[in-house]
Amino acid sequence: MGTSAAHNPSLASDREAASRQAAAPAHAAVGPRHYGRYVYLAINIAILIFLLAPIAVVVVFALNPTPFIQFPPVGVSLRWFEKFFASRDFMHALGFSLEVALFTTVSATILGASAALALARGNLPGARLIVVVMLSPLMLPAILTGLALFQTYVLLDVGRPTWGLVAGHTLVTLPYVVRTTLAVLHNFDLRLEEAARNLGASPARTFFEVTLPLIKPGVLAGAIFAFIVSFDQFPVSLFLVSPGNETLPVTLFNYLKFDLDGTIGAASVVSIVLAFLVVIGLDRTVGLRSYVKL
């Protein structure tokens, strides 16, 4: 449009952009709203305390030198952490839990994201019903899911293989990925894919160049849910773990029956830290942040 001398298009556009910025909501923290803000703040603090208090108790338990919870604590000691890290059983369980959580995350993410895409795009008959079925593991008590899978494996005479445990975990984590992916697909502008097709991208390239990057925040959120739910999973694992290959929550539960000491607290602290690191790590490597400002 280089030939237009009469008007200055960029001027006009800039004006438009400027008026847009001006329209951004101004912060109105004056007058009667002031009082409301304190209430808002107080409620948020209360919720935070409610959420964090159990973690605080666990940390106190983990650092307390006595083998029982004592209030006020009589000192700080790392003996339970030492015991936890020195225990072959716990270390094996921790490694195994991470392994299972990792495989679960990969399979739940691939299956869940694919399922969500098929549901959102496939024009499938009865898609709504399929969504309900997909989410049903969330509604069924997980202990029943575990028992049902266990019986299935027994009937099939496959024993209790690691893939069976991963399958069980995948079953209960899949709904998270389906949900979060469906949520982003719901707001997805199909014209973006058409634009890519129009510009010469094959269906596969369109998927990897446009669709996937745009639904990534949802898929990733689902993957993080899947990892944490699998890593902390107890009811499904209860029946599906095999001798010698027990996940950390099951090992903790069994340990609890014989020794109730700070090792449980130490293990919990390590779990929390690990889960936190995984979230941070996913955020950094796969990059949640760059897609938040869409």
Partner 1 sequence: MSASIEIAGVSKIYDGGVRAVDAVAMDIRQGEFFSLLGPSGCGKTTTLRIIAGFETPSSGAIRVDGADITHVPAHKRDMGMVFQNYALFPHRTVAENVAFGLRMRGHDKASIATKVKAALAMVELSGLEDRRPAQLSGGQQQRVALARAIVIAPRVLLCDEPLGALDKKLRQQMQFELKQLQKKLGLTLVFVTHDQEEALAMSDRIAVMNGGRVEQVGTPAEIYNQPTTRFVADFIGDTNIFRGERTTTGAGAPALDVGKGLILALPPSADAQGAGALSVALRPEKIRLSPRGDAAGGAAGTCAHGVVENTNFLGGAVLYRITLEGAHRILVQQPNAGTSHLFIPGNGVTLDWTPADLVVLED
Partner 2 sequence: MMKALGSTRLSRRRFLAAGASLAIGAIAAPHVARADDPVLRITGWGGKWGDVMKAEIGPAFESEFKCKLQTDSAFPYLPKLQASSRSAPIYDVLHTNSNEQWAAAEMGLVEPKVDPKLVPNLADVYPYAVSDKIVGVSIFTSAIGLGMRTDKGYGSITSWKELWDAKYNGVRGGYVIPVNSLGQAFLMMCGTLFGKGQTDLDAAYTALEKLKPIKIVDFTGAMEKMLLSGEVGLCVIHDSGIYRYDGQNQPTDFIAPSEGVLSLEQVLTITPGSKVKELANAYVNYMLRPEVQKRLAETVWYSPANRKVKLDAKYDAKLLTTPEKVSKLIQVDWKWYNERKDEIDQRVNRIFRA
CB under 5 to 8 A by kind: which of partner 2, partner 1, none does 207 bind?
A: none
Nearer to partner 2, 64 or 211 (CB): 64
The answer to whether residue 13 forms part of the interface with partner 1 (CB under 8 A) is yes
The answer to whether residue 136 forms part of the interface with partner 2 (CB under 8 A) is no
The answer to whether residue 245 forms part of the interface with partner 2 (CB under 8 A) is yes
Task: Give the one residue of 134, 142, 172, 196 binding partner 1; rule: CB under 8 A.
Answer: 196
Beta bridge partners of 253: none
Residue 3 beta carbon to partner 2: minimum distance, rounded to whole angstroms: 53
The answer to whether residue 126 forms part of the interface with partner 1 (CB under 8 A) is no
66 neighbors 76 (Cβ within 8 angstroms): no
Task: Give the one residue of 253, 272, 288, 291 binding partner 2; rule: CB under 8 A.
Answer: 253
Residue 191 beta carbon to partner 1: minimum distance, rounded to whole angstroms: 4
Beta bridge partners of 242: 245
99 neighbors 163 (Cβ within 8 angstroms): no
CB under 5 to 8 A by kind: which of partner 2, partner 1, none does 16 bind?
A: partner 1
CB under 5 to 8 A by kind: which of partner 2, partner 1, none does 10 bind?
A: partner 1
Q: Nearest to residue 178, comparing CAs of 235, 254, 112?
A: 112
The letter for the amino acid at 264 is: I
SS3 (DSSP) at 242: strand
CB under 5 to 8 A by kind: which of partner 2, partner 1, none does 256 bind?
A: partner 2
Structure tokens at 23: 């329209």
Task: Give the one residue of 53, 76, 91, 192 binding partner 1; rule: CB under 8 A.
Answer: 192
**Residues 262-281: x/- map of binding to partner 2 (CB under 8 A)?**
------------x--xx-xx
Angle at 21 between CA 24 and CA 13, to 5 degrees: 145
Nearer to partner 2, 49 or 91 (CB): 91
Helices (H), the chain: 9-22, 33-63, 79-86, 88-121, 127-139, 142-156, 162-186, 190-198, 203-206, 212-231, 235-240, 248-258, 262-282
Residue 150: exposure state from Cβ atoms within 10 A (0-12, 13-18, ≥19): middle
Q: How many CB atoms lie within 10 A of CB 145?
A: 20
Nearer to partner 1, 1 or 30 (CB): 1
The answer to whether residue 294 forms part of the interface with partner 1 (CB under 8 A) is yes
CB under 5 to 8 A by kind: which of partner 1, partner 2, none does 12 bind?
A: partner 1
The answer to whether residue 3 forms part of the interface with partner 1 (CB under 8 A) is yes
